[in-house]
Amino acid sequence: ERKGTQTKKKRGGSHPGKRPNKNRNRVLYHELLMGDYFVANPIYDSKDFRRRFRMRRELFDRILNAVVEYDPYFKCGVDCCGVKSFSTHQKITCALRYMAYGGSADQLDENLRFGKSTVGLVVDKFCRDIIDLFGPTYLRPPNEQDMKNILAGYERKGWIGCMGCIDVMKWVWSSVEGGPG
């Protein structure tokens, strides 16, 4: 068979022998998340938010608003059975926590009630949207002023004239004299 001619298996859906969806209590976990971080007097303060989300609340809100405006997937909706989908805050929190902590989908299922396939979908869409939205500004090659700032920072550390780094984890050690292998 030629590459690219295979049809992808449809994700999800009903079919004979499939077990019923788990009731993940999306609404309850949305309310808990909101009470923890996103109401006027949250349980966890701004220091807790910064530590757990790896960013300030204002940046989270900016990202959330930009992504929701760009991609309707991140808006809270209702499925064909009338069940409310995960909220915008839940989806953005899922993507950020997955990337910030490098955790597994199982951890997000326990804490936010997202299934493995939903985690994958949310993270994929989130990353693509972030690249589209913020890539032109933040994911660009450094300009002359950026280079001056980078070099000045390196010089303060004693790395005069240094530009770039070597990721030694990608070296083929067997070809390095005296290296393992």
DSSP string, 45-108: -HHHHHHHHSS-HHHHHHHHHHHHHH-GGGS--B-TTS-B---HHHHHHHHHHHHHH---HHHH
Is pLDDT above 60 for 3? no
Could you tell me the pLDDT band of residue 2, with boundaries at 50, 70 and 90?
Answer: very low
| Structure tokens belonging to residue 181 | 């292998």
Average pLDDT over residues 15-20: 76
Q: 122, 90 in Cβ contact below 8 A?
A: no
> Between 51 and 178, where is the model more confident?
51
Distance set, CA 5 to CA 8, 11, 12, 42 (Å): 9, 18, 21, 51
| Structure tokens belonging to residue 26 | 């999306």
Other CB atoms within 10 A of residue 150 CB: 14
Say if pTM beats, i.e. exceeds, 0.85: no
Average pLDDT over residues 5-34: 73
Helix, strand and coil percent figures for the chain, each rounded to 5: 55, 0, 45
Is pLDDT above 60 for 169? no
**Residue in 132, 20, 29, 11 with CA at minimum distance from that of residue 76:** 29
64 residue type, one letter: L
